[in-house]
Amino acid sequence: MTQSAAPLMSEFEAAAVVSGLETIAEDVVLLTLTPAAAGHLPAWTPGAHLDLILDEGDGELVRQYSLCGSPADRDRYQVAVLRAPDSRGGSEAVHRLAEGDRVRIRGPRNHFPLVTSPRYVFVAGGIGITPIIPMIEEADAAGADWELHYGGRTTQSMAFRDLLAKYGDRVRLVPQDQVGLLDLQSVLGTPVPDTLVYCCGPEPLLTAVEQRCQSWPSTALHLERFSPKQRADDADTAFEVVLQRSGLTITVEPGVTVFDAMRGAGVSVLGSCLEGICGTCEQGVLEGEVDHRDSVLDEEEQAANDCMMVCVSRSLGPRLVLDA
Amino acid sequence: MGIPRHAWYPVAASEGIGRSPIARRLVEVPLVLYRSTTGEPVALEDRCAHRPVRLSDGVLDGDLIRSTYTGFTYDPTGRCVSVPTQEQVPYGAAVRSFPARDDGSFVWVWIGEAGLAALRTPPDTSVLRTDGWTTFGGALDTAAGIGLLYDNFCDITHVVQLDQAIAPPALTTGPPPPLEVEVSETSVRFWRRFDAAPLAPWNAQVLDLPEDAEHEQVEEGEFVGPGYWVDRWTVEVKGHGDHDGQHTLVFSHALTPVSEKRTRHIWRVSRNFAGSAAAEGTLKPLFEAYYARVGEVLEQMQTILDEEGPRPEVAVAADAAVTHVRRIMQRMVAEELGG
């Protein structure tokens, strides 16, 4: 055996059995996953997501889905998946699954945590409702004041309508074919003190909510993206990265990510989506200025300059020092 | 480092809570603990609503607890049900009550937002009650913050420096094999497998194996939640006839964060071999001495931090688990603080 002091990092990963498969709205299946071997699943909190690793014969597909069950349920995970023919094929593969099939699961991890607050405004668009479901359960149990504005194409396309019915008029369903788009002006037009806004949904909704929340305190808005933010490609330059704990200095060339350069140097760093959306590869920053290119950190967190997603982010200066 | 409040914390061994009220402290909250007539654990704030006296100095009357100074009497929900000086119970008079659970090994209390307690589960402690496992243990009050205890659990290489008698030779017979660290949002687990090496004399003795025989050994550690840590040491015996098998010691640590700088540490050592009292006679003094020694060092660290303040620490590769545990605790605290 090769002896080395470098720890091998990994995320919790296990085989799981599809123990339930239920169509809960048009083109939306609710998948229940139980561990294939005896034992508990790691605990999670609202906003967490899970990797589903699907064997596709010629390779594997890795997709991230928000956990939409209850954190109180320690024996299974639930995710709801919309069939999206235009996407990269993950959702079609999930919709082909049958009860009893095996998949691999990895995580959970959480980059959309529900921060304690006396009041919340939840805004969900379409399948973006999934992380909001456990958030509502949590906010309600904590006795917080909250409301949900949930938009969808049609009533039939909107998942979890039955489950949401028990919350009465805290929940406003906004099917587009009947009442049009979410009225973000009336929901978010005036900042409300001591209130956090949580939003998940398609990119146009996220962008619109970001714009509406510009007059809110900078820490009020929390949102989650499941597709990377669009950005202009700049001409990248090379820079040096010092990995303090590993005692290594590496050079990151243009066209190579910090993540790849670290792996190339034999440093075991975690990574999953490699698009700056899942947050798995986060590394502590000790020195240097980060060129943040991820969709995980908000403006304030990026400005703090104390961590970075090494799969996409780079350096503004010639040198970064990482706690790795 | 702050201490998360939205978590189940063990506050006492199950057998330590009965029909006499006892006092505990959890993240600066004074608690009085007792059992109702049906055996359910009750956790109330240990301070009478009338005068600053401890209810834990009081007496039980059925399911009720009465202050022996003020005479104010409270039910298990904390509501005041009678006062000695008037018929009318003062409107709204109450002490805080906290969700409490008994899993058969420890009593767990939740001092965070009460409604959230049902959405979280205390860690699994079933190894302490499973057939085929024999357990002994002890408890220590350590004048050190819970974070220092976790730093210590995350890296056992210091065992060699601290206690030559207990340290497995596997830790010193060569460069340590790499640590494998597995994380999730809320958990950190690590393990490493040592090439065949001799056992510590005490380990060979309780396994009834020759002292010079070499065996593969596996070290594991697991951060299960802010109040519970489990580590394991497994000796894989092969070629010794009836002695073959996986012989595991499980070390369970139930941690009560009393304050930022004080932690109650209830430890349990379970084994799936050598269930005799004689084996316990060998093992128990060793681990009592070891955990006491660890406690002394941690108290010294806390004193240095108090007197000189924290400083940036030089980290090494072996700190990967420490880093993740600290990150989980810090995130929990940050999310609870809000903003």
Residues 219-248 of A with CB under 8 A from B: 219, 244-246
Interface test with A, best of B113, B119, B189 (most A CBs within 10 A): B119
Residue among A99, A88, A91, A90 at smallest CA distance from A16 = A99
Residue in the structure block whose two tokens are 């594997």: A60
- Mean per-residue pLDDT, B151-160: 87
B15 pLDDT band (50/70/90 cuts)? Answer: very high
- Mean per-residue pLDDT, B268-279: 94
- Report the relative pairing of strands A221-224 and A195-200 from DSSP bridges: parallel
- Mean per-residue pLDDT, B272-294: 95
- Of A65-69, A89-93, B57-61, B97-101, where does mean pLDDT reach its minimum? A89-93
* A141 inside 8 A of chain B by CB: yes
Output the pLDDT for position A1.
Answer: 37
Would you call A7 and B316 a contact, using CB atoms and an 8 Å cutoff?
no
Output the pLDDT for position A233.
Answer: 56
Q: Which residue of A has its CA nearest to B335?
A: A115
* A74 inside 8 A of chain B by CB: yes
Mean pLDDT of chain A: 91
Q: Which residue of B has its CA nearest to A115?
A: B335
CATH 3.40.190.10 fits B8-119, yes or no: no
- Mean per-residue pLDDT, A180-202: 96
Question: What residues of chain A lie within 8 A of the CB of B336, using their CB?
Answer: 116
Output the pLDDT for position A38.
Answer: 83
A218 pLDDT band (50/70/90 cuts)? Answer: confident
- Over its C-alpha atoms, chain B yields an Rg (Å, rounded) of 23
d(CA B125, nearest CA chain A) in Å: 12
- Of A288-302, B11-25, B79-93, B108-122, where does mean pLDDT reach its minimum? A288-302
- Of A60-69, A129-138, A164-173, where does mean pLDDT reach its minimum? A60-69
A295 pLDDT band (50/70/90 cuts)? Answer: confident
Q: CB-CB: which of A72, A107, A196 is closest to B184?
A: A107
Question: What residues of chain A lie within 8 A of the CB of B184, using their CB?
Answer: 11-12, 42, 44, 107-109
Longest dimension (CA), chain A: 66
For chain B, the domains span 8-119, 131-336
- Residue pLDDT, tens place only, B68-101: 999 999 999 999 999 999 999 999 999 999 999 9
Residue in the structure block whose two tokens are 């084996």: B279
Between chain A and chain B, the number of residue pairs with CB atoms below 8 A apart is 119
d(CA B244, nearest CA chain A) in Å: 24
Residue in the structure block whose two tokens are 């023919």: A85
- Residue pLDDT, tens place only, B194-246: 999 999 999 999 999 999 999 999 999 999 999 999 999 999 999 999 999 99
Residues 31-50 of A with CB under 8 A from B: 40, 42-45, 48
Residue type, B36: S
Positions of E strands within chain A: 8-11, 13-25, 28-35, 48-55, 60-66, 77-82, 102-110, 119-125, 145-152, 171-175, 195-200, 221-224, 239-243, 248-252, 282-287, 290-291, 307-309, 314-315, 319-322
Would you call B121 and A74 a contact, using CB atoms and an 8 Å cutoff?
yes
Q: Which residue of A has its CA nearest to B312?
A: A286
Q: CB-CB: which of A7, A113, A323 is closest to B179?
A: A7
Tell me whether residue A280 is exposed, middle or buried, using C-beta atoms within 10 angstroms of its C-beta: 0 to 12, 13 to 18, 19 or more.
buried
What's the CA dihedral at A246, A248, A249, A251 to 10 degrees? Answer: -90
* A142 inside 8 A of chain B by CB: yes
Cα–Cα distance between B308 and A276 in angstroms, integer? 40
Q: A18: how many CB neighbours lie within 10 A of its CB?
A: 18
A228 pLDDT band (50/70/90 cuts)? Answer: low
**Would the pLDDT of B121 be above 90?**
yes
Cα–Cα distance between A145 and B311 in angstroms, integer? 41
Q: CB-CB: which of B115, B318, B336 is closest to A116?
A: B336
> What kind and span of H or E run contains B222?
strand B214-225
Output the pLDDT for position B207.
Answer: 94
Share above pLDDT 90 across residues of chain A, in percent, rounded to a whole number:
72
Would you call A71 and B120 a contact, using CB atoms and an 8 Å cutoff?
yes
CATH for the stretch B131-336:
3.90.380.10
Output the pLDDT for position A57.
Answer: 76
- Residue pLDDT, tens place only, B52-76: 999 999 999 999 999 999 999 999 9
The pTM for the full model equals 0.89
B165 pLDDT band (50/70/90 cuts)? Answer: confident
- Residue pLDDT, tens place only, A112-145: 999 999 999 999 999 999 999 999 999 999 999 9
Contact A92, A83 (CB under 8 A): yes
d(CA A67, nearest CA chain B) in Å: 12
- Mean per-residue pLDDT, B145-165: 89
Output the pLDDT for position A3.
Answer: 42
φ, ψ (nearest 5 deg) of residue B290 = -65, -50
Q: pLDDT: is A85 or B177 the higher one?
A: B177
d(CA A80, nearest CA chain B) in Å: 20
A2 pLDDT band (50/70/90 cuts)? Answer: very low
Q: pLDDT: is B338 or B249 the higher one?
A: B249
